[in-house]
């Protein structure tokens, strides 16, 4: 039995309005790209341009590698809370965290490991050896997928295939991370079209991120028209997000996708593993000259990855983090959510008897 929260902190976790859509409707909105197909580069570019997100099949990561990591991560999260902290350290920001996301007030119904990656090595030596080994094997495999996707993106943009890959994979001082999120079943039931926040809406600041999850749903993305749609889980596929840095490098041709996670309401936990492809702190982030048309104006001022990362750590998840770096307001035009949250906190949406439940999850 593992306790990840207490009644007083549960009241602080916000509710979000959730779309009501069947799996077929949701799946139709999400591009699917066969990474082994001859036209993969064009398909990847189309998906990054239209949605900023796609499901990748035939990616080359053996099913057993993902399944082994899933099993060993679940065993880790089943340990007592103090053991998890002792093994990995409290998240500052790397390490083990529970409920608190960052240091600026964001909370969610989850616990997680956030780890740095260097040459396929996970930089936490005190993790249980089976988990560490599974993480390193999975990271090595998904890192190659990330590199291949970056090559396909570059090809789709009409630039040197190695240009984006060289910014991330094998770059000295590169900033690659792996995050393992565990969302236990939430004992509280939200009313109507509301759901309990697992991970609040945000974009990823890096160049790309690559996600794998188990069979439990919860992930949602925001489409260009402002609609939120659920992403049907598929452990055999990987899901690729365009990050803020790639949005800038393409001068807004590709847009980072807002996404969020709703806490599970059934009996099964959700487990996801995300690889973040970030570059070195000194890397300049600005629209690539090779993609700019004659006379085209940059939408963003130049900055380094280190500068952007420091700025991102000072913001809330839902903040428009690229705003201070924009040169033209048109860069951020997107429909606003009319009522993104059911309320400011769960305590105003849930009956008193639910607020008093001790949130103990298996």
For 91-156, the DSSP string reads -SSSEEEEEEETTTTEEEEEEEEEEEEETTEES-TTS-HHHHHHHHHHHHHHHHHHHHHHHHHHHH
The yes-or-no verdict on residue 307 having pLDDT over 90 is yes
pTM comes to 0.89
Contacts of 352 (CB under 8 A, 6+ apart): none
Q: Which residues are CB-neighbours of 67 under 8 A, at least 6 positions away?
A: 235
Residue 151's pLDDT is what?
A: 98
| CB atoms closer than 10 angstroms to residue 353 | 7
Confidence of residue 25 (pLDDT cuts 50, 70, 90): low
What pLDDT digit, counting tens, does each position of 265-288 carry? 888 999 999 999 999 999 999 999
pLDDT of 242 over the 60 cut:
yes
CA 191, 194, 200 angle in degrees (round to 5)?
A: 140
Nearest to 156 by CA among 283, 82, 54: 54
Q: For residue range 61-80, list pLDDT tens digits in order.
A: 999 999 999 999 999 999 99
Mean pLDDT in the chain? 86
| Mean pLDDT score, 2-31 | 60
- Reported as type and span, the H/E element at residue 278 is strand 270-278
Q: How confident is the model at residue 359 (pLDDT cuts 50, 70, 90)?
A: very low
Structure confidence at residue 336 (pLDDT) = 55
Phi-psi region of 218 (alpha: psi -120 to 50; beta: other; left: phi over 0): left
DSSP-derived letter for residue 299 is: S
CB-CB contact of 169 with 277 (8 Å): yes
Cβ(202)–Cβ(222) under 8 Å? no
Residue 332 has pLDDT above 90, yes or no: no
Identify the pLDDT of residue 230.
93
Q: Which of residues 13 and 46 earns the better pLDDT score?
A: 46
**Does position 149 have pLDDT exceeding 60, yes or no?**
yes
Q: What percentage of the chain reaches a pLDDT higher than 90?
A: 70
Average pLDDT over residues 251-278: 95
Residues 6+ away with beta carbon under 8 Å from 351: none
Give CA separation, 234 vs 66, 214, 266, in Å. Answer: 12, 7, 17
- Whether the pLDDT of residue 260 is over 90: the answer is yes
The pair of structure tokens assigned to 272 is 């996801």
Q: Which of 161-175, 195-209, 221-235, 332-346 has the lowest mean pLDDT?
A: 332-346
pLDDT band at 120 (very low <50, low <70, confident <90, very high): low
Q: What is the pLDDT of residue 188?
A: 79
């Amino acid at each position: 039995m593992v306790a990840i929260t207490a009644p007083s902190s549960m009241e602080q976790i916000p509710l979000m309005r959730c779309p009501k859509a069947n799996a077929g409707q949701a799946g139709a909105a999400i591009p699917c790209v066969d990474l082994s197909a001859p036209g993969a580069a064009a398909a990847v570019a189309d998906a990054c341009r239209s949605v900023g997100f796609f499901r990748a099949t035939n990616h080359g990561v053996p099913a057993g590698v993902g399944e082994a990591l899933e099993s060993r991560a679940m065993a880790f999260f089943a340990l007592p809370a103090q053991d998890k902290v002792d093994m990995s350290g409290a998240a500052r920001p790397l390490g083990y965290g529970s409920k608190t996301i960052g240091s600026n007030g964001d909370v969610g119904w989850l616990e997680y490991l956030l780890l740095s990656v260097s040459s396929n090595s996970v930089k936490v030596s005190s993790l249980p050896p089976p988990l560490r080994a599974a993480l390193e094997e999975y990271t090595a495999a998904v890192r190659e997928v990330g590199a291949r996707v970056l090559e396909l993106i570059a090809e789709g943009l009409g630039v040197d295939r190695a240009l984006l890959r060289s910014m991330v994979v094998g770059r000295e001082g590169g900033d690659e991370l792996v995050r393992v999120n565990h969302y236990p079943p939430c004992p509280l039931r939200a009313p109507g079209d509301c759901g309990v926040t697992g991970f609040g809406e945000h974009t990823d600041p890096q160049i790309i991120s690559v996600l794998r999850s188990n069979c439990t749903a919860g992930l949602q993305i925001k489409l260009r028209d402002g609609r939120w749609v659920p992403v049907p889980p598929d452990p055999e596929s990987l899901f690729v997000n365009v990050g803020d840095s790639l949005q800038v490098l393409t001068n807004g041709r590709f847009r980072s996708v807002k996404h969020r996670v709703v806490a599970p309401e059934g009996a099964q936990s959700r487990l996801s593993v995300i690889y973040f492809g970030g570059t070195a702190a000194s890397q300049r982030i600005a629209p690539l000259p090779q993609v700019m048309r004659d006379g085209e104006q940059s939408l963003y001022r130049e900055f380094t990855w280190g500068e952007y990362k420091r700025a991102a750590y000072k913001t809330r998840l839902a903040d428009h983090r690229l705003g201070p770096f924009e040169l033209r307001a048109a860069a951020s035009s997107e429909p606003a959510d009319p009522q993104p949250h059911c309320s400011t906190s769960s305590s105003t949406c849930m009956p008193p008897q639910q607020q008093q439940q001790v949130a103990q999850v298996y």
